[in-house]
A and B are shown apart, each in its own frame.
Chain A
Amino acid sequence: MGRVGIVLISHSTKIVEGIKELIREVIADVPIELAGGTEEGEIGTSIDKIVNAIKTADEGKGVVLFYDIGSAKMNAEIAIEMDEKSTTKIVDAPLVEGSYVAAVESGMGKNLLEVYEAVKKSF
């Protein structure tokens, strides 16, 4: 079975691209999907992008979501409500460090709850 997936949500495409780059330096085999910016690539967040990112990141072990400010979390919540699956968890943690910790934990083969708890405990 696969790894717990990670979705990075930010108002800016560059922020999430940068974080993914940072994590990929150390972790290669954990799914990381990006939902940065609006549909038009402008500053903002998009529910559709988040929904698609969750779908792609899910290898069957669930997905953790990290977000930056304001509408990012609200849109993450709507995306999860629309999905109706409970295998996605929003993590209230700093976007960069939080997702980094999650990637390391997921890379060790931890399950969704373990990854979630490990991140929560770190902050």
Chain B
Amino acid sequence: MEIKVEDAIKWFEKINEKIKLNKEYLTSLDQVIGDSDHGINMARGFEEVVNKLSAKEYGTVSEVLKDAAMTLMSKVGGASGPLFGTAFLRFSTAVKVKESVDFETFTLGLESALEGVKHRGKSTAGEKTMIDVWSPVVDFFKRENDFQPDELLYESRTAMENTKEIMATKGRASYFKENSIGHIDPGAASSYYIFEALAEVLQEGEK
């Protein structure tokens, strides 16, 4: 399967639905180790992304990703804005020119997105952030040679759950030191919804 413009737009629509549905939950995760705004931030951002994408015609997946990125950067408000914004902007640049995106190019895009988040957050895997979902997902894509939606679901869910055991050393949660252990990282949870949404787009594309 190749990711086309319609698929990319559907991806963001599904992310928006999931974030909206789980807004309270995401905020409650941010309540224990942060400032209780993650659900609100993400819901506001992705709502604006979907509005933006529905108002325009797109020729390439890259343009879709770019508009999503710019919208997230300016509308989210919290740290997740520049971080997810940078992720999708790097993704956009990596898949430029191509009208639709094959597995190999998509993997390259994901990898660039991850590098973008690391650069922006000056962080790496194991610090209890969204990176702890993005990084294993990138590793998983690099191991495979085609889209595997069922495994993607499993990998991203496991990665999210594993953030529970980590002590936060980046972001607001790091102020909680040892007390951050035992809770899922909010940004990891919303990253899981991003990949869950992707898995659904892929599953529908296979039919």
Docked-complex contact A75 and B37, CB < 8 angstroms: no
Smallest beta-carbon distance B95→chain A, Å:
20
Docked-complex contact A75 and B81, CB < 8 angstroms: yes
Residues of A within 8 A of B166 (CB): none
Which 9 residue pairs across A and B have the least CB separation, nearest first?
A44-B77, A74-B82, A71-B79, A70-B79, A38-B77, A75-B82, A74-B120, A71-B78, A78-B82
Interface residues of B (CB under 8 A from A): 35, 37, 41, 73-74, 76-83, 85-86, 120-121, 171-172
| Residue in B74, B80, B120, B171 whose Cβ sees the most chain A Cβ within 10 Å | B74
- Which of A18-26, A45-53, A56-64, A93-101 lies on the face that meets chain B? A45-53
With both beta carbons as reference points, the residue of chain A lying nearest to B35 in the complex is identified as A43
Q: A-B pairs with CB below 8 Å: how many?
A: 45
Q: Which residues, 25 to 52 on A, are CB-close (under 8 Å) to B? A: 38-39, 42-48
A69 on interface, CB distance cutoff 8 Å: yes
Contact (A70, B73) CB under 8 Å given A43-B37, A77-B120, A78-B86: no
Contact (A71, B73) CB under 8 Å given A77-B120, A78-B82: no
Distance in angstroms between the alpha carbons of A80 and B150 in the assembled complex: 41
A-B contact pairs, 18 of them (CB 8 A): A38-B77, A42-B77, A43-B77, A44-B81, A46-B74, A47-B74, A70-B78, A71-B77, A71-B79, A71-B80, A71-B82, A74-B82, A74-B83, A74-B120, A75-B81, A78-B85, A78-B86, A78-B120
Smallest beta-carbon distance A70→chain B, Å:
5
Interface residues of A (CB under 8 A from B): 38-39, 42-48, 69-71, 74-75, 77-78
With both beta carbons as reference points, the residue of chain B lying nearest to A72 in the complex is identified as B79
Distance in angstroms between the alpha carbons of A47 and B45 in the assembled complex: 14
With both beta carbons as reference points, the residue of chain A lying nearest to B79 in the complex is identified as A71
Smallest beta-carbon distance B71→chain A, Å:
11
Residues of B within 8 A of A43 (CB): 35, 37, 77
Docked-complex contact B77 and A45, CB < 8 angstroms: yes
Smallest beta-carbon distance A28→chain B, Å:
33
| Residue in B78, B80, B86 whose Cβ sees the most chain A Cβ within 10 Å | B78
Docked-complex contact A48 and B79, CB < 8 angstroms: no
| Residue in A38, A48, A74 whose Cβ sees the most chain B Cβ within 10 Å | A74
Docked-complex contact B79 and A74, CB < 8 angstroms: yes
Smallest beta-carbon distance A89→chain B, Å:
17
Residues of B within 8 A of A42 (CB): 77
Smallest beta-carbon distance A99→chain B, Å:
22
Known: A71-B82, A75-B81. 9 other contacts (CB 8 A): A39-B74, A42-B77, A43-B35, A44-B37, A71-B80, A74-B83, A77-B120, A78-B82, A78-B86
Contact (A48, B74) CB under 8 Å given A74-B83, A78-B82: yes
